Structure 1
Amino acid sequence: MEILMSNWTDVQSLPKSYVFPPDRRPGENVFPVCKNVPVIDLEKAEGLDRVETIQQILNASQEFGFFQVINHGVSESLMDDTMSVFKEFYGMPAEYKAGFYSNDINKSCRIYSSTLNYNAEEVHYWRDNFTHRCHPIEDHIQHWPERPARYREIVGIYSVEVRKFLLRILNLISEGLGVEPGYFDGDISKTQLLSVNHHIPCPDPSLTLGMPEHCDPNLISMLQQCSVPGLQVFLEGKWMGVEPLPNAFLVIPGLQLKVISNGIFTSPIHRVVTSSDEARTTIGSFLIPSHDILIEPAKSLLDAGHPPDYKAFTYKEFFSTFTAKNCDAEVALEFFKNKPK
């Protein structure tokens, strides 16, 4: 069978290799929708409501581990054009996409299916993923697709604007936490990855998943959802849907922000379920520390009553531990926790 499901046509039944064991299936339950997802109006951060807006971001990062942002500065037309380009890319001929296929995590631009270990998996996830590095543009754009014709132009502009947006959020977080200005500039947010998930309609969504349960190991994540629901977060002991908000970005502080905040922030477990009716394409963008930079709780947050919860480590050390522990966030973080004396 063709590995990339974006090349499949007329799928009538779920292949056995995509059917999860009973204890891991989402089942046929109708999952509740999280009705109180914090919504941040970023325009207010530039006016008299700046302090209140920053506090909203801190509260959301502490209580939920995610929030939606409106009036974020990226135009609706650019968001629509970028989504259109990615849908065009996934609709390109199989032989064209095959030129980008790779399971090598170090490749600058690649497409793959399910997870990083497709050939070693007992069960596959119902998705294709296209990902590439974005920053600085001039170092990576030559590896991007030349087709669709608008790809490099549109995605290049989008990548730059999304990076500006995420750095604005990080600067507001640094101001709210009381760490020095520019704390999140430079190597700590050096790498930018664009990650586009594509899920074709699924014959039986109760038996499979579009993405595994996970926490984001990076610094901060942004997601542009489409109108087809699918994202779920684990809150209050149950899975809850996060409905797409038109023209909004969903922001998820990653595990590195949890460490830097000395455990003030949380990073939620989330997953993706599938749809039987429509294809679902989403655009993610991640800021990731350079491999050799030291990650540790911000010193301005520490005092005699608030010792560091975590030891200093490099992102390379953390990511190696995270993947070795089957991407289990709690197990990986425990490895770097300071033990009570």
Structure 2
Amino acid sequence: MAASSVDSLYFDNAADSEEAARLFDETKGGVKGLVDSGITTVPKLFRLSPQTASQYGTTRSKSPCPFADLESRRAVVVEEIRRAAAELGMFQLVNHGVEVSVMEDMMAEARQFHEQPTELKQGYYSRDVTQKARFISGYGALRRSSFNWVDTLLMTPAPSDAQDHLPIICRDSATIFIGRIRELGETLSQLLSLALGLTPSTNEFISTNLTTANLNYYPPCPEPEVAIAANPHFDTSTFTILLQDQVGGLQVFHEGAADWVDVPSLHGALVVNIGNMLQVSKLIKGYLFLFCAL
């Protein structure tokens, strides 16, 4: 990591936010690199405005995050998904068929990628969207007022089972995990189609394709009250399947309660977030669902 780049960020000497972002990208170390350099305060590039930071207090809605059990009878699970999608836009999925060992291996190797020395992963650091596997920080932040406190390995899965373009340190687990998620995605597409009132005979079933697989890593933050892991946002996809670790921090905005709902990490569960592509359908009551990560 180039010390001059970190200094420019840390002491806020950059001419503007674009210059600060460029200097940060040049380090190719991500947020983890900043933490490893020994910073004790959050650089301006990552700091939330006082007004924004005040929105993320400790008071949260007591409304539970709904869940769907894929081992339930088809009619029951379709109704569980329909209700959860319409009311909150996010739900916990249990008995989904993805082995716990596969999820744990994926989580472990994702951590190994992000925690390896900077010089071993900086070759993947890029904002070139044509790259099939790239490591970046502050994903999506150029569209927002502050960078997210997160490092991300973005992967575009190959159409076949082989994923030779992925970093070797996490290739094995990612290849298996991507395969399982593809299978689960097809099942969820069918269930969501049924929840919409579509039938197989009409060929109206929602089609799905796994377009991206992101491995997010949230390094310890010296001032967690002034930074955020993921700014409030909508997913533009049909749906997203999330694997959480045991730390938690995921929240979704509940329109009815006008407050944020915690989405706890449940061992062996996956989280499904309904994206904008489905939220324009009759499954949804007419508003988009916002979520974030603290």
- TM bracket (short chain): 0.7 to 0.9
Is 1:33–1:243's contact at 8 Å kept on the other side of the alignment? Answer: no
Is 1:127–1:210's contact at 8 Å kept on the other side of the alignment? Answer: yes
Is 1:253–1:267's contact at 8 Å kept on the other side of the alignment? Answer: no
Which residue of 13, 32, 40 maps to 1:6? 32
Letter in 1 for 2:86: Q
**Is there any run of 5+ residues in structure 1 with no aligned partner, and where?**
274-341
Which position in structure 1 is the counterpart of 2:238? 219
Identity %: 26
1: CA distance, partners of 2:286 / 2:271: 16
1: CA distance, partners of 2:116 / 2:87: 42
Give, in angstroms, the shift of residue 26 of structure 1: 4.6
Provide the aligned C-alpha RMSD in A: 2.2
Which position in structure 2 is the counterpart of 1:229? 248
Which residue of 117, 125, 145 maps to 1:93? 117
- Equivalences for residues 60-71 of structure 1 within 5 A: 60-71=84-95
2: CA distance, partners of 1:232 / 1:116: 18
Which position in structure 2 is the counterpart of 1:250? 271
Letter in 1 for 2:59: F
String of CA shifts for 1:116-137, please: whole Å, max 9, x gaps.
455x865322111111112413
SS of match in other structure, 1:189: coil
1: CA distance, partners of 2:249 / 2:191: 29
String of CA shifts for 1:250-270, please: whole Å, max 9, x gaps.
001111112244745764201
Which position in structure 1 is the counterpart of 2:64? 36
Which position in structure 2 is the counterpart of 1:269? 290
Give, in angstroms, the shift of residue 190 of structure 1: 2.7
Change (3 A) 1:33 1:259: closer
Corresponding position: 1:57 with 2:81: yes
Give, in angstroms, the shift of residue 247 of structure 1: 1.0
Mean Cα deviation higher: 105-114 or 7-16: 7-16
**Is there any run of 5+ residues in structure 2 with no aligned partner, and where?**
1-5, 7-26
Which position in structure 1 is the counterpart of 2:167? 145
1: CA distance, partners of 2:233 / 2:145: 18
Change (3 A) 1:28 1:239: closer
1: CA distance, partners of 2:231 / 2:275: 16
Which position in structure 2 is the counterpart of 1:308? none
Which residue of 162, 180, 198 maps to 1:161? 180
String of CA shifts for 1:45-85, please: whole Å, max 9, x gaps.
xxxx2212211110111111111011110011111111001
Which position in structure 1 is the counterpart of 2:23? none
Give, in angstroms, the shift of residue 16 of structure 1: 2.5
Corresponding position: 1:17 with 2:40: no
Change (3 A) 1:54 1:67: same
Which position in structure 2 is the counterpart of 1:316? none
Is 1:216–1:255's contact at 8 Å kept on the other side of the alignment? Answer: yes
Corresponding position: 1:133 with 2:161: no
Aligned length: 262
2: CA distance, partners of 1:43 / 1:129: 33
Change (3 A) 1:26 1:202: farther
- Equivalences for residues 258-297 of structure 1 within 5 A: 258-261=279-282, 263-264=284-285, 267-273=288-294
Is 2:63–2:261's contact at 8 Å kept on the other side of the alignment? Answer: no
Is 1:41–1:69's contact at 8 Å kept on the other side of the alignment? Answer: yes
2: CA distance, partners of 1:88 / 1:121: 29
Change (3 A) 1:262 1:177: closer
Letter in 1 for 2:277: Q
Is 1:26–1:208's contact at 8 Å kept on the other side of the alignment? Answer: no
Which position in structure 2 is the counterpart of 1:82? 106
Change (3 A) 1:129 1:184: farther
Is 2:85–2:284's contact at 8 Å kept on the other side of the alignment? Answer: no
2: CA distance, partners of 1:212 / 1:94: 25
Give, in angstroms, the shift of residue 18 of structure 1: 1.7
Give, in angstroms, the shift of residue 31 of structure 1: 3.3
2: CA distance, partners of 1:82 / 1:34: 31
Give, in angstroms, the shift of residue 234 of structure 1: 1.4
